[in-house]
Homo-oligomer: A and B are copies of this chain.
């Protein structure tokens, strides 16, 4: 606990030079004589001197720190985004400070202060559906925060939020997922979503219905059910769906909001005596690390979460004002096949 107290003056004095010279040695500057450099470096090592990035930040008004606001950290989906962003930030010499949405969406004053007082060089904010009141607050916070630092929004960003952004094209993903199942021969395709359709800024429902229309399949209201994104909710949702219909009308394929929901569907299907994929094909989303190891291995939409994090940092540091779509792909595994019979 002693090295913490040695500063640039101590080093300068011990090495018998000025602090300017120490500062130059520190930054590996051009013009220092080899002899002086050696002497200063020796003192630095001996005293375990470590310059304060805080003090440096004072004069350069750069903190080399970015921020990221995520809904939660326990969900591997967000951990993947964080990891991608973190690695890219480190690669550029920045650190990445985490903030949780629950701390971020306080009253507008405190929320802005939370990030702004740290003088971050920029921030990435994950956006998804929020209830009306919180949404208004978020908009005010973004407006004010923008005065303090550049911002990049990621996730499900409404069109009218005018910021650099990388967004998920969920409607298109749903449309193509339906098309994929149709291509396998399915005609009864269910969709388990996480939100009532009119609350989903990405309108997955629009893509789902479009996919059905593309294939000239009817929209069946009972094939459209809701969960809240957890395995329990997925299991309950598929239970409800199956129990409300005659087995002859059961869907032959299910598209789940995400892999956790899909995992719940697996349990429900098993309990209803359905074999996968023969009796029921299943598509998840997020391609979490357990997806390949389920039984059967789960077909899932890879949203390239790490890549998204990386790109968000790149966009933030570039200063561009672009709005882009995130990359994605369908990872085909054994949970989908043509329907039996």
Instruction: Point out residues on A near B: beta carbons under 8 Å.
Output: 1-4, 48, 50-55, 57-58, 63, 72-74, 76, 79-80, 82-83, 86-87, 90, 95-98, 100, 103, 112-113, 116-119, 144, 146-150, 231, 260, 263-264, 266-267, 270, 289-290, 292-295
The answer to whether B52 touches A54 (Cβ under 8 A) is: no
Pair A54/B48 contact, Cβ less than 8 Å: no
- Closest Cβ of chain B to A187, distance in Å, is 28
A63 to B52, CA, bound (A): 11
The answer to whether B1 and A147 have CB atoms under 8 Å apart is yes
Q: Specify which of B52, B83, B148, B263 is in contact with A119 (CB 8 Å cutoff).
A: B52
Which of chain B's residues has its CB closest to A306's CB? B74
Which chain B residue lies CB-closest to A116?
Answer: B50
Minimum Cβ distance to chain B for residue A186 (Å): 24
Cα(A4)–Cα(B117), bound, Å: 10
CB distance from A333 to the nearest CB of B (A): 13
A74-B295 in contact (CB<8A): no
The answer to whether A79 touches B86, judged by C-beta atoms less than 8 angstroms apart, is no
* B100 contacts A97, C-beta separation under 8 Å: no
Closest to A76 in B: B76
Chain B residues contacting A146 (CB-CB under 8 Å) are 1
CA–CA, A148 to B51, complex, Å? 11
* A240 smallest CB distance to B (angstroms): 18
Known: A58-B55, A119-B53, A290-B263. Contact between A80 and B90, CB under 8 A?
Answer: no
- The residues of B that contact A58 with a CB separation of less than 8 Å are 54-55, 58
Q: Which residues of B contact A270 (CB under 8 A)?
A: 295
Specify which chain B residues have a CB less than 8 angstroms from the CB of A267 in the assembled complex. 293, 295
- Docked-complex contact A63 and B54, CB < 8 angstroms: yes
